[in-house]
Amino acid sequence: TQRHGDCASEMVLPTFTRWWLYLSLPIVLWDASFVLLRPFSFSASLWFPYQTYISVDKRYGDMEDSFVITQSIANVIEVCLAYLALIAHRRKSRLSLILALVSCVMTWSKTAIYLGDEFVSHMKFTSHNNASNLLFLYIIPSSFWLVCPLICTVQTAHQLLERGTTVSSATRKKQ
């Protein structure tokens, strides 16, 4: 019989979740650093794509908008959790699943709140766009930050629940 901590193979992150964390971690850090280092980042070459993006989503260029700053601080926390999840994964720790789950829920929640706030404000920061720019530079890219973390959340939650059920069944059989 297996004891509670013996299933190292079950402690690994699902492949899609692992790839999402590896890909999203530098992007989220880059995004957070753009916002948190404004106005310096407006002219720095590292963030040159934001010259286009701030013309699509004016919130990113608004130095008075506290929401985007708060969201970027949450991004830093999310990046730390994702990084710790990947370290825990390499160590085959069950903690990797919990950290990845929390990080992905944060990503999804922040994106949903960000987009929801834009919708509720009657597109305050994006209504100036033509349909093509809105679709290809705002809606489609933003949708990845909803769909991918949702898939990861479902995967990691399923694995945690499945592992918990296995441990509970083994414990009941011993009694």
**Average pLDDT of span 123-138:** 97
Mark out the alpha helices in 37-139 (DSSP H runs).
40-43, 50-56, 66-90, 95-120, 131-134
pLDDT of residue 90: 96
- What are φ and ψ of residue 6, in 5° steps? -90, -10
pLDDT of residue 173: 58
CA atoms of 82 and 6, how far apart (whole Å): 24
Element (H, E) at 18: helix 15-36
pLDDT single digits (tens) 50-80:
999 999 999 999 999 999 999 999 999 999 9
CA atoms of 138 and 57, how far apart (whole Å): 8
Q: In the chain, pLDDT over 90 holds for what percent of residues?
A: 85
**DSSP three-state, residue 125:** coil
User: Which of 101, 98, 78, 69 has its CA nearest to residue 25?
Assistant: 78
Q: In the chain, pLDDT over 70 holds for what percent of residues?
A: 87
- What are φ and ψ of residue 161, in 5° steps? -65, -40
CA atoms of 24 and 128, how far apart (whole Å): 28
pLDDT of residue 55: 97
User: Which of 125, 110, 133, 98 has its CA nearest to residue 24?
Assistant: 110
